[in-house]
Amino acid sequence: MRADRLIQALLLLQGRESLTAAELAAELEVSVPTARRDLEALLAAGVPLYPQPGRGGGWRLIGGARTDLTGLTGPEATALFLQLVREGADSDAATRARRKVVQALPASFRVAAERIAATTVVGPEWGAAPGEPEPGEAALLQQAIADERLVSFEYGAERRTLEVVPLVVGRRGRRWYLMAAPAHPGTETADAARLRTYRVDRMGGLRALRARGRAAAGFVPGEAWDAMVTEMEARRGAASATVSVEAHAVAPLCSRFGVHARVIDEGDERSVVEVRAQSDEALAEQLAGWTPAARVLEPASVTRALADLGAQLVATYGSEGTARVR
């Protein structure tokens, strides 16, 4: 583990004007002689480092604290730290990561980073319950990808046990997903033709295996994820309806449907909007609450679904608005 320790020592030196062997030993939780040997090893490796004896001395990088061995500019360092704050506000791992990033930054950047940590608060949307922390399963999958290991888990109504090569871990909203594929028989390489997406919260008994597994040459995780998202959005927009919408309701209705809403004809009093969902029934459920500000023009299948939904409401609650309890 000495290589990890040397990297930490280098980052600490970069973030401070000077560092004594005793201070480094305390930071790395090693003995002072070990810390001194680490400093000498960095010097022998060609790191621009020199010892300054005497009171107030210590080991320094040539150029002082202004030397930025990460290559980060001020805005880049700030953006990186802000992302850490946003993504893992209270977890122990995120706290340790933020502390290490602060130590690694040059002094001029460190002040801004510490200010961000002290003044940035991340919470749920108004009226929403507090979000759950990142599941341990997501971290396990990420580590399995890093280690190029197969993973095993139970999935589906029949709870079949699957062994796959994890390839992409992603999040949409509050849900985490895994894109994975079985390995080609007799190899460690994932069969991209059998790539599938799994919801992490539906997995059972997830564990990393000793067997190795890796992506095929040329596999691009970002492109695979984007293709999956495009396909899923297309499925969610399989059914469409043309709706006449009052002017004041156009913007909120389009916001509600997101990418599945498109203004066809904009008018002063009413506009014609095309909306999409995965089925006629789903469209009816989403549009019912917009009546009478939004009126479906076509197709008839959606108006029938709305009528059926209205009949169910009347049957349940009665024409006088009194609930019928069964």
Q: What is the pLDDT of residues 199-212, one digit of tens each?
A: 999 999 999 999 99
Mean pLDDT value of segment 218-232:
91
Contacts 24+ apart (CB under 8 A), 136-140: 137/176, 137/200, 137/201, 137/203, 137/206, 138/169, 138/171, 138/176, 138/200, 139/93, 140/206, 140/207, 140/208
Q: Does position 325 have pLDDT exceeding 90, yes or no?
A: no
Higher-scoring residue by pLDDT: 61, 224? 224
DSSP letters, 139-200, are HHHHHHHHHTEEEEEEETTTTEEEEEEEEEEEEETTEEEEEEEPBPTTSSBB-GGG-EEEEG
Q: What does the pLDDT look like over 142-189, one tens digit per residue?
A: 889 988 999 999 998 888 999 999 999 988 877 889 999 999 999 999
Q: Does position 322 have pLDDT exceeding 60, yes or no?
A: no
**How would residue 261 be classed by pLDDT, with cut points 50, 70 and 90?**
very high
| pLDDT of res. 129 | 62
Higher-scoring residue by pLDDT: 263, 157? 263
Give every CB contact of residue 165 below 8 A, 6+ residues apart in sequence.
150, 180, 181, 182, 183, 188, 189, 190, 213, 214, 215
Q: Does position 92 have pLDDT exceeding 70, yes or no?
A: no
Higher-scoring residue by pLDDT: 22, 63? 22
Higher-scoring residue by pLDDT: 32, 181? 181
| pLDDT of res. 66 | 45
- Beta carbons of 273 and 302 less than 8 angstroms apart: no
Query: How much of the chain, in percent, has pLDDT values that exceed 90?
Result: 42
- Beta carbons of 155 and 204 less than 8 angstroms apart: yes
| pLDDT of res. 212 | 94
Q: Does position 68 have pLDDT exceeding 60, yes or no?
A: no
**How would residue 250 be classed by pLDDT, with cut points 50, 70 and 90?**
very high
| pLDDT of res. 234 | 85
| pLDDT of res. 69 | 47
| pLDDT of res. 132 | 56
| pLDDT of res. 116 | 64
